Amino acid sequence: MSAAAAEGPLLQVKGLQVRYFTERGTIEASRGVTLHLDRGETLGLVGESGSGKSVTSQAILGLIREPGRIVAGDIVWKGRSLLAADGAAYARRVRGKEIALVFQDPMTSLNPVFTIGLQITEVLRHHLKLGRRAASDRAAELLDLVGISAPRQRLAQYPHELSGGMRQRALIAMALSCEPELLVADEPTTALDVTIQAQILELLGSLQQRLGLSILLITHDLGVVAALCHRVAVIYAGRIVETGRAADLFARPAHPYTMGLLRSTPRIDVVRPRLVAIDGTPPDLSHPPAGCAFHTRCPIATDACMAEAPSLVPQAGGRTVACWRAFTPAWPGEAANRRARG
């Protein structure tokens, strides 16, 4: 572990730019995403729909399909590029084996006509070259690991015979089958019921600790981040606007967007007469605004914000912020609100 740490971060995304070439124009889905993930760490990538969070995970896993293309930037796994022209074989080996993916919707990512057992053993036999018997034993172990009772019987069942929570567990088991080092979980609990979501989050947390996994958790739900993540990266309009340790970032958001996001999320422990909404809508990424993309909705935007996009600047406490007016209270009562909570 300590030797590995000397290599630097497990995963680095450097200035990633992804564009979608559509009839209505070129959409700049990702406009220079930079982030890194250390071993054994859970990083939450938080953003709203169209912010580029899923595009980032797809790029990491090599799942960008036409009409999308990676036009600039790099993705580095253990110090070696996954996008380099001579790295195709390396990327193939890493993706699916060292980096595994858990999808949002377990029903559509499991094949309905095959049993759970067959779908897991297929992965084991293909990637790990296990025999039929060994693969089946290992599959049962994996189901047990993710908290599925009577794993041997479950192997013979079809996806539709399992509940939503069970299917998500089965999918996590499948993702873990090759003992990956990084689990990319794209909205893993969004399709689940509240009480089942709690179960899956607890499972992910305990797996992370027991197996020393790194998790890249992609979500729109600040509550999920608060429950599970060590660090957070907030993404808006295809760029990271802020990163930092979860506790710091929630206690003292630096970027007006993060502040607004926190203020507009209703909480069961705080009753406000009225939610503070962020006015306007996220920008159309086929015509991203000049300067900081948030200036169209930001209550404290200045001329500088409209003229030039701020870059991600390191701050105290290992945080980074891309804002000309970082830490300035952006919404009325922001300071008071912070005091009330602290």
Partner 1 sequence: MAMTKSTAGTLAHAAPLHGRPHELFNALRGIARELRADKLGAFGTMILLVLVIVAIAAPALAPYDPAAQSLADRLLPPAWLAGGSPAHWLGTDHLGRDVLSRTIHGARVSLLVGVAVVALAGTFGTVLGLVAGYFGGRADTIIMRAVDIQVAFPALLLALIILTVVKPTPGTLVIVLAANGWMVYARLVRGVVLSSRQSLYVEAAEIVGCRPLRVIFRHVLPNLTSPLVTLATLEFARIVLAEAALSFLGLGVQPPATSWGLDVAAGKNYIFDAWWLVTVPGTAIALTVLSINLVASWIRIATDPRERQKRFARGAAVSEMGA
Partner 2 sequence: MTMMTTTTAPLVEVQNLSVHYAARGGGWLGRRIRPITAVEDVSFAIFPGETLGLVGESGSGKSTTGRAILRRIDSITGRILFRGRDITQVRGEALRRLRRHVQMIFQDPYASLNPRMTVLELVAEPLVVHGLARGEAAEPRVASLLALVGLPESAMERYPHEFSGGQRQRIGIARALALEPDFIVADEAVSALDVSIRAQIVNLLGDLQARLNLAYLFIAHDLSVVRHISHRIAIMYAGKLVELADRDAIFRQPLHPYTRALLSAILIPDPQIQQQRRRIVLTGEIPSPAAPPSGCRFHTRCAHATAKCRAEAPPFEEKTPGHFAACWAA
Chain positions contacting partner 2, by CB under 8 A: 48-49, 163-166, 193-199, 201-202, 220-227, 229, 246-247, 250-251, 260-262, 264-269, 271-272, 274-279, 281-282, 341
Rounded Cα distance, 184 and 90, in Å: 18
Determine the size of the site formed for partner 1 (CB under 8 A).
10
Nearest distance in Å: CB 333, partner 1 = 38
The residues in 86-115 that bind partner 1, with binding defined as CB under 8 A, are: none
Nearest distance in Å: CB 65, partner 1 = 10
67 binds, among partner 2, partner 1, none (CB under 5 to 8 A by kind): partner 1
The residues in 315-334 that bind partner 1, with binding defined as CB under 8 A, are: none
Rounded Cα distance, 331 and 239, in Å: 22
Whichever of 48 and 122 has its CB closer to partner 2, that residue is 48
> What value does the CA radius of gyration of the chain take, rounded to a whole number of Å?
21
Q: How many alpha carbons fall within 13 Å on the CB side of residue 265?
A: 18
> How many CB atoms are located within 10 Å of the residue 287 CB?
11
2 binds, among partner 2, partner 1, none (CB under 5 to 8 A by kind): none
Of the listed pieces 4-12, 18-26, 32-40, 322-330, which binds partner 1 according to CB under 8 A? 18-26
Which of 34, 21, 52 is closest to 283 using CA atoms? Answer: 52
Nearest distance in Å: CB 68, partner 1 = 8
Judged by CB under 8 A, the residue of 8, 21, 247, 267 near partner 1 is: 21
97 binds, among partner 2, partner 1, none (CB under 5 to 8 A by kind): none
Q: Which helix (H) or strand (E) holds 11?
A: strand 11-22
Whichever of 21 and 114 has its CB closer to partner 1, that residue is 21
Task: Give yes or no for a contact between 213 and 180, defined as CB atoms under 8 angstroms apart.
Answer: yes
22 binds, among partner 2, partner 1, none (CB under 5 to 8 A by kind): partner 1
Find where tokens 């912010």 sit: 51
Q: 167 is written with which tokens?
A: 């299917």
Q: Is 67 in the site for partner 1 (CB under 8 A)?
A: yes
Secondary structure (DSSP) of 124-171 = HHHHS---HHHHHHHHHHHHHHTT-SSHHHHHTS-GGGS-HHHHHHHH
222 binds, among partner 2, partner 1, none (CB under 5 to 8 A by kind): partner 2
Q: Does residue 193 sit in helix, strand or coil?
A: coil
Rounded Cα distance, 43 and 12, in Å: 12
Rounded Cα distance, 239 and 53, in Å: 9
71 binds, among partner 2, partner 1, none (CB under 5 to 8 A by kind): partner 1
Q: Is 286 in the site for partner 1 (CB under 8 A)?
A: no
- The residue type of 280 is G
Q: Is 63 in the site for partner 1 (CB under 8 A)?
A: no
Q: Is the peptide bond before 256 cis (omega within 30 degrees of 0)?
A: no
Contacting residues toward partner 1, per CB under 8 A:
19-23, 26, 66-67, 69, 71
